[in-house]
Structure 1
Amino acid sequence: MRTKVHVPYLFLSPAIVLFAIFMVYPIVYSFLLSFQTGQGSEMTFGGLDNYRRLFGDEIFWTALKNTFVILIIQVPVMLSLSVILASFLNSVKRAKGLFRVSFFMPAVTSLVAYSIIFSIMLMSDGIINQLLMSLGLGAAPWLSHPVWAKAALILAMTWRWTGYNMVIYLAAMQNISESLYEAASLDGAGKIRQFFTVTIPQLKPVLLFTAILSTIGTLQLFDEPYTLTKGGPSDATLTIGMYLYQTGFRYYDFGYASTLAYVIVLLIAILSFIQFKVTGDE
């Protein structure tokens, strides 16, 4: 009998071993590494030195500010567009599949590939500026001005991830009972009123889910600023994820890089907790 009890664990053991080696061990080792100072293999125990270093690190605070600016602007804009597009597709009777695939296609594009394409489009003589000049508007310094560089990142990220979230919202909308809309219609609610009193409340769990995922993704943002702007100009688009990469793999300060990684984990936990409390979900 005891042998039979252990049989499931025997089959699970390969997955458990792989999980322990490639997930648990790096997490624990990174945490221990955050208490060490030095470069490369010459590491010594430094206690809380790395964490104290954060408070006087101007580059860290710049990267944190940049990340939060992108988060506060890009995530609400992207999720709002996703809900609007999903609502539109939910009411479309013809070619729904074509529209769904068209809007979702950016989500399957390689992060590096689409970032390179946007960097070409947003050059001083790129197609975007040519279009603006053809409309009688001046060319924008998309990649050379601090504000426009942030706008370029937000534009690129919104293009890629709007369709991804739209598909999630569309699936949730198709599960909303038609009786709720019929009851609202009988009470005299129009389409816009139904959207805010029926659709949005029913999407609340999904909205929370996508908001948390988008928050996590933005706090880990690396590919777009690295490919589009290299963190410039003058660190205007340097994010925490990119600063972590530079610290660990350019300057080989793995202890401080591990500290930055755990700061990101802490920020994700705090923001996720706040989002749960704001929405009132247990």
Structure 2
Amino acid sequence: MNVAASVSPSVSLWNKRRGRSKPPRTRPTKSERRRNLTGWVFIIPAASLITIMSFWPMVRAFLLSLQTGRGSRMSYAEPLWMNYRRLLGDDTFIMTLKTTFIYLIIEVPIMLGLALILAVLLNNPNLRFKGLYRTAIFLPCAVSLVSYSLVFRTLFANEGFVNDMLLGLGIIDSPVNWLGQPGTARAVIIIGLIWRWTGYNMVFYLAGLQNIDPATIEAARIDGANAWQTFWHVTVPQLKPMILLTAIMSTNGTLQLFDESWNLTRGGPAYTSMSMSHYLYELSFLKSPNFGYASALSYVILVLVAVLALIQMKVGDKRDA
């Protein structure tokens, strides 16, 4: 039976006077309640695990960031924000913050730009051995981190291949201590990041390029646009969602950088190549562990990641403009 037709005229008149255009909701049937219950049965275990394994540790970490002391002798600081205030006067933290942003500002634009160029070149339907080239460029991100770190340390050693090549070409007169100077140590980490993650981002751009309608490219060429104009005004705008995604992922990954800082340079010389996450690890597990202070640093990293991701989304998403 039609529910709308069964509503009495008095109820319909009352709904109109109340400004309602729809009839009052009826109680769910037994089958609908059963379906809703089935959905909750599937959702609750996963939601409970996420809460216990992710959100509760985040809450505990925040409470820990308000405490001071060692080991089991932890107590709330006075004032509660003492650990956060201490960060502002920590020269090592300020240095790691600057170093991390140097990596971010230099590495991310170069890596994403190179990944986009490679994706466009490898998306050419007339290119032979495309699969081989794509695999070769993507493979670095599948290589073991420890293995590639050892290779890079060997390449950039005082008697390594890079110094031998530069000496042979006459570019330098004496070997460069790549891992023993602040500027060159940072450069080695940036080179390692670009080498490892360019192919990873290239795969995202290739997926985006293959979803672009070829008719838009053909229409631009018919209108007289050259290759650069077609790429910049037709291809790039259609890749904006993918560019935004890779920019956010790369920014978040760089702000949480640990592996390269630890394995390539150990943070040296004198903490000048150390990332914030590397410093967080040292505060937590090396020297004299201070979990309260380390938790405060972890929340600073979380805030930086969230703020930069929000800015990128606001700048890159123009759907409501």
User: Which of 225, 228, 231 is residue 261 of structure 2 equivalent to?
Assistant: 225
RMSD in angstroms over aligned alpha carbons? Answer: 1.5
- Bigger mean CA offset, 256-265 vs 133-142: 133-142
In 2, Cα distance between the equivalents of 1:4 and 1:272? 37
In 2, Cα distance between the equivalents of 1:274 and 1:7? 39
The alignment status of 1:78 with 2:111, answered yes or no, reads yes
The alignment status of 1:275 with 2:308, answered yes or no, reads no
Q: Which residue does 1:43 correspond to in 2? A: 74
- Identity fraction in percent: 48
Q: Please report how far the alpha carbon of residue 79 of structure 1 lies from its aligned counterpart in structure 2 after TM superposition.
A: 0.4
Bigger RCO of structures 1 and 2 (CA < 8 A, at least 6 apart):
1
User: Which of 228, 234, 241 is residue 192 of structure 1 equivalent to?
Assistant: 228
Q: Which residue does 2:55 correspond to in 1? A: 24
The letter for the 2-side match of 1:61 is I
SS in 1 for 2:298: helix
Q: Please report how far the alpha carbon of residue 280 of structure 1 lies from its aligned counterpart in structure 2 after TM superposition.
A: 4.3
The alignment status of 1:95 with 2:158, answered yes or no, reads no
Contact 1:66/1:236 (<8 A) preserved: yes
Q: Which residue does 1:6 correspond to in 2? A: 37
In 1, Cα distance between the equivalents of 2:58 and 2:188? 33
In 1, Cα distance between the equivalents of 2:52 and 2:238? 41
* Cα displacement string for residues 25-50 of structure 1 (whole angstroms, at most 9, x for unaligned residues): 21111011110011222211011111
Contact 1:64/1:240 (<8 A) preserved: yes
User: Which of 48, 60, 64 is residue 97 of structure 2 equivalent to?
Assistant: 64
- Bigger mean CA offset, 15-24 vs 124-133: 15-24
In 2, Cα distance between the equivalents of 1:243 and 1:90? 41
Unaligned stretches of 5+ residues in structure 2: 1-29
Q: Which residue does 2:145 correspond to in 1? A: 111
Q: Please report how far the alpha carbon of residue 92 of structure 1 lies from its aligned counterpart in structure 2 after TM superposition.
A: 4.9
* Cα displacement string for residues 246-281 of structure 1 (whole angstroms, at most 9, x for unaligned residues): 111113211111111110111011111221232243
Unaligned stretches of 5+ residues in structure 1: none
TM-score if structure 1 supplies the norm length? Answer: 0.95
In 1, Cα distance between the equivalents of 2:158 and 2:125? 39
Contact 1:79/1:162 (<8 A) preserved: yes
SS in 1 for 2:268: coil
In 2, Cα distance between the equivalents of 1:236 and 1:38? 28
TM-score if structure 2 supplies the norm length? Answer: 0.84
In 2, Cα distance between the equivalents of 1:104 and 1:256? 38
In 2, Cα distance between the equivalents of 1:92 and 1:242? 44
The alignment status of 1:52 with 2:88, answered yes or no, reads no
Q: Which residue does 2:7 correspond to in 1? A: none
In 1, Cα distance between the equivalents of 2:36 and 2:242? 39
The letter for the 1-side match of 2:152 is F
Contact 1:112/1:224 (<8 A) preserved: no
In 2, Cα distance between the equivalents of 1:175 and 1:54? 47
Q: Which residue does 1:262 correspond to in 2? A: 299
Q: Which residue does 2:276 correspond to in 1? A: 240
- Bigger mean CA offset, 134-143 vs 236-245: 134-143
The letter for the 1-side match of 2:179 is L
Contact 1:64/1:239 (<8 A) preserved: yes
Structure 1 stretches of 4+ moved >6 Å: none
In 2, Cα distance between the equivalents of 1:71 and 1:116? 23
* Cα displacement string for residues 38-89 of structure 1 (whole angstroms, at most 9, x for unaligned residues): 1222211011111111111111110000000010000000000000000000
SS in 2 for 1:91: coil
Aligned length in residues = 282
